[in-house]
Amino acid sequence: MEYEYIICFETHVELNTNTKLFCGCRVSYDAPPNSCVCPVCTGQPGALPVLNKKAVEYAVKAGLALNCRINTFSRFARKNYFYPDLPKGYQISQYELPFCEDGFLEITDDKGNPYRVGIKRIHLEEDAGKLVHSADTSGEDYSLVDYNRSSVPLLEIVTDHERNPMHSLQEGRAYLEKLKQILKYIEISECMMERGQLRCDVNISIRPRGSSEFGNRAEIKNMSSFRFILEALEYEIKRQKDIIESGAEVKQETRFFDEEKKITLPMRSKEDAPDYRYFPDPDLMEVKIDRDFIDMIQKVMPELPDRQLNRIIEQYGIPKNDAVILTKDKAISEYFTACAAICEDKRRLGNWIIKELFKLLNEASVSIVSCPVRPHDFVRLIEVVSKGSITESIGRTVLSEMFSTGKGPDSIIDEKGLKPIEDDSALLKELEEIIRENPEAAARIKAGETKPVDFILGQVMKKTRGKADPKKVRDLIGKILSGSY
Amino acid sequence: MELCDKSALDLATLLRKGETTSREITESLFKRIEKKEKTLNAYITTAKESALKQADNADEGFRSGKDMPLLAGIPIAVKDILCTRGMRTTCGSKILENFIPTYNATAVERVLKEGAVIIGKTNMDEFGMGSSTENSIAGPARNPVDPQLVAGGSSGGSAAAVASGEAILALGTDTGGSIRQPSAFCGTTGLKPTYGRVSRYGVIAYASSLDQVGPIGMTAEDCAMLLNVIAGHDSLDSTSADLKRPDFLQAVKKDIRGLKAGLPKEYFIEGLDRGIKKKIDEAVKLLEKNGVEIIEISLPHTKYAVSVYYLIATAEASSNLARYDGVKYGFRSGDDIDDVIRMYEATRDEGFGQEVKRRIMLGTYVLSAGYYDAYYLKAQKIRTMIKIDFDRAFKEVDFIITPTTPCLPFKLGEKLSDPLQMYLVDIYTVSLNLSGLPGMSVKCGDINGLPVGMQIIGKAFDEETVLRVGNRYQQIAGI
């Protein structure tokens, strides 16, 4: 039987603000336990939350990047439940009136067409602390709690069940990758999954093709990598198919993914779903977002990846495959953008970043953010190569030298004596000698063959260690053998 | 008259003239405490040592001829709901019996910055939940007028301390009447400022949208003096109003001639003690004689106020009190229990008193799925209507006069077994918390030696008129 799927994501993104959502404590991933805490984020009696404006700015920024409506009035609500990592006994989140609603994110669907995945809402909430169970560290039985993460700002991005949900694993993957790309582009999160900065809950329901109703959906919690998310989905699809094919009905429930066994297991049924007793947080005022605030954010909004992709294809004539690579990652795109602003030969620039620079970066395991070759120098090198002042091959040697020394191309060309031989007489001398040594090739050229020209040229380049200008050498070969020199 | 029986303003004058010292005042106070505290139980914690140190500091300032703030050297009692750094803050609860805050509430911080002397932490109903200060881990506070009677609540300790000379001034909090009602019962002057006037930072939350810190003193002038210090915007409290603070002490001096007072007919109906009604009538006549125009007004949604209050306050409380779970601070039960849920249950079962548990359960119910719309949301709507009632009334009048309580102070234990009767004691005060308006209770006479409180209600952020009327009334009535 063939099946159709509805896949939805609830993605939690840790924002990279300097301070927490409701207090002035520093946000730090690796500070010693409970060193970034205060009365507010540890839920001391009498402490009150004060909203971090930067986080609101980031939420709106995400909303704009994901084509959402920004609500004029937004409100924080308390989500009440007991857990030792939740110091107040409630999480300050949003329920009614989140910051952003009804947006979309465009991906390429399974047929290769553009598809706008519906975004239902984006809201801001605080993270909980972290429990460290003694079993992780020793044999004793106790748990410790670290509140450094408590009240760190999180953005929750929820896709729509009804309006353009995803229908396949591929679409799911495309959505997640695109989402991460955009969030990094607008610089609101580092999105490091291994640090829990991007976490995902997934909803999935399926139906046999042609059937009118989808089955109940399962929500899978606690997945910390794209791979686990896709593995969980794959398992879940199979599980639900088996249930349907056995004639039973899929239960609506929350499940969790066992990363080792690669299976999902029941966590709680719909009947056991907790009642969070949401209500507006009386400690915080409604947040009013006016046109000016939105305009201010719009102004500092960087060019989004899709737009940039199209622009560099259309304006710069960069081939699509190259353009995709150049815009895939914020840091790469920034490097490219910085170079492109001062570079004439943008095609070669793109090509050289992908072919030559990436090779060096990979070999040295260096990220482009800390690339030792400054854009200015890189562009100068492209210029020199484009003008034909040095060959591509010498260009590669120079780049490698630039990479390891951090020096500019001109000084390297100078120091290493890689400057092209400008003097015709020197070239002539070499050429005459080679022709003398290879009379047969010379004869064939005279007879009108072109192939031996390349051979002679190769010999010249070898002798001059690549410093000869190939165009000029070809010219000279012709002239000598035709007797016009 | 002993030093501890004088008004704060008089003492401030004496201090400036060099006729007394803060140490003398503080010692006189502790002498009174030694004499009366066994009976009154107004304090949960006293801090004689640090108080004398603060007094000496103030005296040094006076001696050196520095320009000292008005509150410098004046002893103040602080309700045990306000966090005091390094000083135990119990909130009247077993669950915080040994809790020592790491920080000061903003109101406390401001008072200390002025050089005031903190005498100790006053007795209260657990988490502010009660109208008699009987629901306290420290046992009930008693009324200085007659120790058989309750002091009112929940700031009963603060009112009793001021009334008995165990404090010159006191900080209280008022969520449904908790400053005004004990002031009425003890014969003090107590002001609940407009919601947002005084920072709630460091005030252990009962119902966040209703809680407000305010002064208790013997006179309106003394309240103005303390309000001058604690009022004003605080960046640590998002709900505190970013407004310029008027000089309340200047405002009290203005005459009241030409002002219009409203008498809401819904406040003078069945259930109101006849004697109290008579006293209020007399006070109103006196005001009229002194140039105030009296107008009958209507606040038609008054009858819903108590119900609405107990839905909203308990809903917020059920969430505010969730943090007392035995994990981070305060009391924890069941060290032998190895299951965290059962540890929560045991801790909260043993750590909270009856009334607190009743309100947590009520509030949890109010917010539950399926009931939220019918209770919480509906209550919020009626809350808005109550607010609109006042808005309408204040188009006609400058302030409103009502009784503070429907009854005189009652006997200890009299209403403990009947929570509904206890809740009705707040019938005249809760509307102000729901609408955010300022209100002050001023003594307007005695009945068989028991004080009667008159409530003066003002427009939002117009504590000036409230204090001005209160002060003028106290002058002309000689009370």
Q: Is the pLDDT of residue B393 over 70?
A: yes
Per-residue pLDDT, A467: 76
State the catalytic residue, choosing from B28, B131, B136, B178. B178
Q: For A102-120, what is the mean pLDDT?
A: 96
Task: State chain A's mean pLDDT as an integer.
Answer: 91
Q: Which tokens in the block code for residue B428?
A: 């005249």
B131 noted as active-site residue? no
Per-residue pLDDT, A137: 56
The whole-model pTM stands at 0.91
Q: Chain A 118-157, CB below 8 Å of chain B: which residues?
A: 141, 145
Q: For A432-457, what is the mean pLDDT?
A: 82
In angstroms, what CA-CA distances link B94 with B138, B139, B412? Answer: 9, 11, 21
For residue A205, name the pLDDT band (cuts at 50, 70, 90).
Answer: very high
Q: For B77-103, what is the mean pLDDT?
A: 98
Q: Pinpoint the residues of chain A covered by CATH 1.10.10.410.
A: 424-481
**pLDDT (tens digit, 9 = 90+) per residue, A78-107?**
999 999 999 999 999 999 999 999 999 999
**pLDDT (tens digit, 9 = 90+) per residue, B118-132?**
999 999 999 999 999
CATH code assigned to A424-481: 1.10.10.410
**pLDDT (tens digit, 9 = 90+) per residue, A349-396?**
999 999 999 999 999 999 999 999 999 999 999 998 988 778 888 899
Q: Do B322 and A82 touch (CB under 8 A)?
A: yes
Q: Which tokens in the block code for residue A213?
A: 């109703």
For residue B72, name the pLDDT band (cuts at 50, 70, 90).
Answer: very high
Structural domains in chain B plus CATH codes: 3-258 (3.90.1300.10)
Per-residue pLDDT, A387: 85
Per-residue pLDDT, A140: 67
The 8-class DSSP code of residue B377 comes to: I
Among B91, B117, B93, B148, CA closest to B350: B93
Give a three-class secondary structure readout of B92-157. CCHHHCCCCCCCCCHHHHHHHHCCCEEEEEECCCHHHCCCCCCCCCCCCCEECCEEEEECCCCCHH
For residue A135, name the pLDDT band (cuts at 50, 70, 90).
Answer: low
Q: Do B319 and A87 touch (CB under 8 A)?
A: no
**pLDDT (tens digit, 9 = 90+) per residue, B170-224?**
999 999 999 999 999 999 999 999 999 999 999 999 999 999 999 999 999 999 9
| A309 φ, ψ (degrees, to nearest 5) | -55, -50
Per-residue pLDDT, B55: 98
For residue A141, name the pLDDT band (cuts at 50, 70, 90).
Answer: confident
Per-residue pLDDT, A281: 98
Per-residue pLDDT, A485: 63
Q: For A323-335, what is the mean pLDDT?
A: 91
Q: Is the pLDDT of residue B335 over 80?
A: no
Q: Which tokens in the block code for residue A126?
A: 């605080």
Query: Which range (A271-275, A323-327, A424-428, B423-427) has the least confidence?
Result: A424-428
Which residues 6+ apart lie within 8 Å of A256 measured at CB? Answer: A220, A221, A222, A264, A265, A267
The shortest C-alpha distance from B191 to chain A (Å) reads: 21
For residue A430, name the pLDDT band (cuts at 50, 70, 90).
Answer: confident
Measured between beta carbons, the chain B residues lying within 8 angstroms of A91 are none
**pLDDT (tens digit, 9 = 90+) per residue, B246-282?**
999 999 999 999 999 999 999 998 889 999 999 999 9
Q: For B387-407, what is the mean pLDDT?
A: 98
B154 noted as active-site residue? yes
Furthest CA-CA distance within chain A:
100
Question: In this predicted model, which residue has the larger pLDDT, A93 or A425?
Answer: A93
Q: Is the pLDDT of residue B316 over 70?
A: yes
Task: State chain B's mean pLDDT as an integer.
Answer: 97
Q: Which tokens in the block code for residue B97?
A: 């019996």
Measured between beta carbons, the chain A residues lying within 8 angstroms of B83 are 44-46
Measured between beta carbons, the chain A residues lying within 8 angstroms of B101 are 39, 44-46
Per-residue pLDDT, A435: 83
For residue A273, name the pLDDT band (cuts at 50, 70, 90).
Answer: confident
Q: Is the pLDDT of residue A442 over 90?
A: no
A–B: how many Cβ contacts below 8 A? 102
Write the DSSP string, A178-193.
HHHHHHHHTTS----G
Return d(Cα B127, Cα B204) in angstroms, integer: 7
Q: For A287-295, what is the mean pLDDT?
A: 97
